[in-house]
Structure formats: C-alpha cells, structure tokens
Amino acid sequence: MKLYRVFYNTHQYRDMSDKPRRASRLVPALSEDDATDRLRAVRDVEQDRCKPLFGMRYIGIVHSAVPATPSGKASE
C-alpha cells in the first residue's frame, strides 16, 4: 500500500443541490486509480452516516489522487 491524497467535492445536502466545496482525504491504496476507487466505494456507506455525525458532509464527485508523503516529524 502507498499513501495518496484524494481530492473530491463535498456537499451540505444529500441531493448535492448546493455549491460544492473542495476537500481531500488521505487514502492508503495500491495506485492513484485504486485510491479514487476506494473513496467512491465508501461513498454510499458514508452517506448513510452523514446525518448523525455533526460536521460531516456528503461526498460528491471524486476527482483525482496524488501521492502523499508523511512529514516524518514523528519523534517527540
């Protein structure tokens, strides 16, 4: 697995009638395409959870994935 940041649109309303906002998430995946597919795969599951969880927004269009690099600032 590698680490990717996947960019997508979020919406306040389930029917996505509002103006989308750009968002991104970190996704462990095998490739860029796999990363976007993984986010699409959980979209329907998450939609069901959105309402009870404050602050969550619906996932709209999933755009692209780029490799993400950990900062490495781990040691305390």
Partner 1 sequence: MNTPTEYVPIMFDGFDGSRLNAELWSAANNKRGYGQEIFQAENVSVHDSLLDIRCNADYSSGEITSKGLNSYRYGWYEASMKVPKGSGFWPAFWMLDSSTPQLTYNEFDIAEEKTGDAIGAGRHYCHIHSGPYPSVHGPAINLGSSVGDPARDLSLSFHRYAMDWRQDGCDFYFDGILFYSAAVAIATPMHTLFSFSVCKPLASGLPPFGGLPDPLYPYPAHLLVDWVWVLKAARHEVQ
Binding site residues, partner 1, CB under 8 A: 1-3, 23-28, 30, 38-39, 42, 46, 49, 68-76
3-state helix, strand, coil in the chain (%, to 5): 25, 40, 35
- Three-state secondary-structure class, residue 9: strand
The least distance separating partner 1 from the CB of residue 16, rounded to whole angstroms, comes to 18
The least distance separating partner 1 from the CB of residue 46, rounded to whole angstroms, comes to 7
The least distance separating partner 1 from the CB of residue 12, rounded to whole angstroms, comes to 15
CA distance linking residue 17 with residue 12, whole number of Å: 8
